[in-house]
Chains A and B, each alone.
Chain A
């Protein structure tokens, strides 16, 4: 490859045929170029209309922001788009992992260049650390077609693949409604909201749109008293309760029994996970004889609560 110096205007940045990274933070690149200049030249290739960038999008945008021009580039002499794209792919592979959106973009581009999808699955999915099946290829290509605002959310919120996979079960209009629920919460709660909504939709045979537009959820989302995270949390709880009515009721009854017994914060009564073991654990601290006596009196109240001990015999409403 020949090294040349070119100016920013020489590169057609609208030609993104070899690009697969769209979301990144330029801070470290800006700092690096400010301190030492561009140590690693970008790689370009020549097409009819001029230079097309092959690798180095972050460096290019950093140069642009700093008006750092002209700058050195390697010129890749390669007329074949697939080979130039693979150059970019393998060059990046030598020094970093790809995130979910980059993998989606890579596979979407390979799918345009290579007509045999089984070849893509066999050669490139293992390279990207994706299970080698056509279903995964389909999923990543679907992700590459997501709305730009959702791609931004996936990048910024570091959404996990299982959550994104759940997200793909909704149509664009439903995803719009989901945005205020997913944006303010962390990964686990994102997944829980999506799972519960899908579960409820199937169980009740209602569209996710109808569920999200129901009175309870709509009034929560329109509330002026609640902050965005509070709204999302409240809706999460509502969805959880509606999709798991039996377990929610059991948990509420358990908590209510503890409340009736007026147990102080020093006495903890806990059930086994999901009440599976049919056992409670009781723990408390004490400093003296009087503390001990008080804790036992409170626990005695719980012993006489018949509702508490009938929890495990409860049967669900059909």
Chain B
């Protein structure tokens, strides 16, 4: 299994993070990389922001600092569509992979690959959060503002997080990745409430749009190994992208997925179609001039983001759900990311009245869904 190793050109460390255990661990794992200590990362961030390709430039460096805000936040989702009550842990920011459609290109002010190393504060925030929500079964993960496992070979964060959540029964903890960085996971005993999820696309879209990420075969092989070792796994077909030959492309990957992985181990599958704020379109076209994903027809959705017209989305989802059913995946919980109630109704025949209902659906024990 080929791991995706992030090797920054340089590591910047804020003075107040110098002695933290996670900082020391990263330095040990990246002992050959040049290090510079900074008082305040803002000057560095501003220097990178000036660059012609600040996003690409930021991916060359690693910043180790403290989390200045809160570690646990509700997933921002999008207004006017159905959310899923997901919570995010802001441990690492940004991602060394370079996906053309990545929302982070328009979302984050800080373009540097950033590790928040004050883990004591993270545990404290998580303890408080889980204690406050002790009567509720939650879904929480690290894969919203970065790839959950892309930095794992150097941070080894997954080991600590999985151990932590193994004793917190009121949460499903999800690690979401496009990588095959599973070495650390395989060395642990898989807890019931930990889900390892992969972002999946058709082979062609993975090849042309997800630069630096392992191919689909590599991702599915990693998922197979992880599920065989006892973990629950999940898959996110997000973003589903229209292109010449998309039906065959998605049918093939679904066939491969369902053939190789025990469906009883699949906690959920999410579907979302390509969507992005209008400002991201110019960024995509500039950073990825060869991409064709922005050439389709888009409408401005209720949330102001560009997305395929609804009849097109229904067609796309309808086909993908059909492929899943044909592959015998009927019992797996499928949900939509940032879609409307009527799309749920039309495609999944489920009447959804808000995000609490989605939360309830996805936190039911697997056999009860």
* With contact pairs A202-B295, A203-B295, A246-B297 given, residues A138 and B309 touching in the complex (Cβ less than 8 Å): no
Closest Cβ of chain B to A169, distance in Å, is: 9
Question: Is B349 close to A, CB under 8 A?
Answer: no
The reply to whether A202 and B292 form a contact with Cβ atoms under 8 Å apart is yes
Question: Is B302 close to A, CB under 8 A?
Answer: yes
How many angstroms between the C-alpha atoms of A245 and B312 in the bound complex?
Answer: 12
Write the chain A residue with the least CB distance to B319: A315
Closest Cβ of chain B to A151, distance in Å, is: 23
Question: Is A23 close to B, CB under 8 A?
Answer: no
The reply to whether B311 and A275 form a contact with Cβ atoms under 8 Å apart is yes
Which residues of the partner chain A approach B188 to less than 8 Å between Cβ atoms? none
Which residues of the partner chain B approach A278 to less than 8 Å between Cβ atoms? 310, 342
The reply to whether A135 and B310 form a contact with Cβ atoms under 8 Å apart is no
The reply to whether B315 and A247 form a contact with Cβ atoms under 8 Å apart is no
**1/0 per position for B277-318, CB-CB distance to A under 8 A?**
000001000100000101101011110000001111011000
Question: Is B353 close to A, CB under 8 A?
Answer: no
Which residues of the partner chain B approach A315 to less than 8 Å between Cβ atoms? 311-312, 315
- Which of A199, A243, A250 is B309 in contact with, Cβ under 8 Å? A250
Question: Is A122 close to B, CB under 8 A?
Answer: yes
- Which of B286, B294, B302 is A276 in contact with, Cβ under 8 Å? B302
* With contact pairs A121-B50, A134-B50, A278-B342 given, residues A313 and B311 touching in the complex (Cβ less than 8 Å): yes
How many angstroms between the C-alpha atoms of A276 and B303 in the bound complex?
Answer: 11
Question: Is A67 close to B, CB under 8 A?
Answer: no
The reply to whether B312 and A316 form a contact with Cβ atoms under 8 Å apart is yes
Question: Is A273 close to B, CB under 8 A?
Answer: yes
Question: Is B204 close to A, CB under 8 A?
Answer: no
Question: Is B229 close to A, CB under 8 A?
Answer: no
- Which of A243, A245, A312 is B310 in contact with, Cβ under 8 Å? A312
Write the chain A residue with the least CB distance to B245: A318
**1/0 per position for A244-283, CB-CB distance to B under 8 A?**
1111001000000000000000000000011111100000
The reply to whether A276 and B301 form a contact with Cβ atoms under 8 Å apart is yes
Which residues of the partner chain B approach A275 to less than 8 Å between Cβ atoms? 309-311
**1/0 per position for A108-138, CB-CB distance to B under 8 A?**
0000000000100110000000001111001
How many angstroms between the C-alpha atoms of A273 and B311 in the bound complex?
Answer: 13
How many angstroms between the C-alpha atoms of A217 and B85 in the bound complex?
Answer: 51
Write the chain B residue with the least CB distance to A312: B311
Which residues of the partner chain B approach A245 to less than 8 Å between Cβ atoms? 297
* With contact pairs A133-B51, A138-B52 given, residues A314 and B297 touching in the complex (Cβ less than 8 Å): no
Question: Is B170 close to A, CB under 8 A?
Answer: no
Which of A230-252 touch B at CB < 8 Å? Answer: 243-247, 250
Which residues of the partner chain A approach B309 to less than 8 Å between Cβ atoms? 246-247, 250, 274-276
Which residues of the partner chain B approach A203 to less than 8 Å between Cβ atoms? 292, 295
The reply to whether A247 and B299 form a contact with Cβ atoms under 8 Å apart is yes
Closest Cβ of chain B to A172, distance in Å, is: 20
The reply to whether A133 and B292 form a contact with Cβ atoms under 8 Å apart is no
- Which of B301, B315, B340 is A316 in contact with, Cβ under 8 Å? B315
Closest Cβ of chain B to A306, distance in Å, is: 16
**1/0 per position for B313-355, CB-CB distance to A under 8 A?**
0110000000000000000000000001010000000000000
Write the chain B residue with the least CB distance to A198: B285
Which of A126-179 touch B at CB < 8 Å? Answer: 132-135, 138, 165
**1/0 per position for B211-225, CB-CB distance to A under 8 A?**
000000000000000
Closest Cβ of chain A to B341, distance in Å, is: 10
Closest Cβ of chain A to B314, distance in Å, is: 8
Question: Is B270 close to A, CB under 8 A?
Answer: no
* With contact pairs A133-B54, A247-B309, A318-B244 given, residues A274 and B315 touching in the complex (Cβ less than 8 Å): no
Write the chain A residue with the least CB distance to B302: A276
Closest Cβ of chain B to A182, distance in Å, is: 20
How many angstroms between the C-alpha atoms of A247 and B310 in the bound complex?
Answer: 10
How many angstroms between the C-alpha atoms of A122 and B48 in the bound complex?
Answer: 12
Which residues of the partner chain B approach A138 to less than 8 Å between Cβ atoms? 52
Q: Given A134-B51, A274-B310, output 20 extra A-B contacts at Cβ < 8 Å.
A: A121-B50, A132-B46, A132-B49, A133-B51, A138-B52, A165-B282, A199-B295, A202-B295, A244-B297, A247-B309, A250-B311, A274-B299, A274-B300, A274-B309, A276-B309, A277-B340, A312-B311, A314-B311, A315-B311, A316-B315
16 A-B residue pairs with Cβ-Cβ distance under 8 Å, sorted by A, are A132-B50, A133-B52, A134-B50, A202-B294, A243-B297, A247-B309, A250-B309, A274-B309, A275-B310, A275-B311, A276-B299, A276-B309, A276-B340, A277-B302, A277-B340, A312-B311
What 6 A-B pairs come out closest when comparing CB atoms? A274-B299, A203-B295, A315-B315, A134-B52, A244-B297, A202-B295
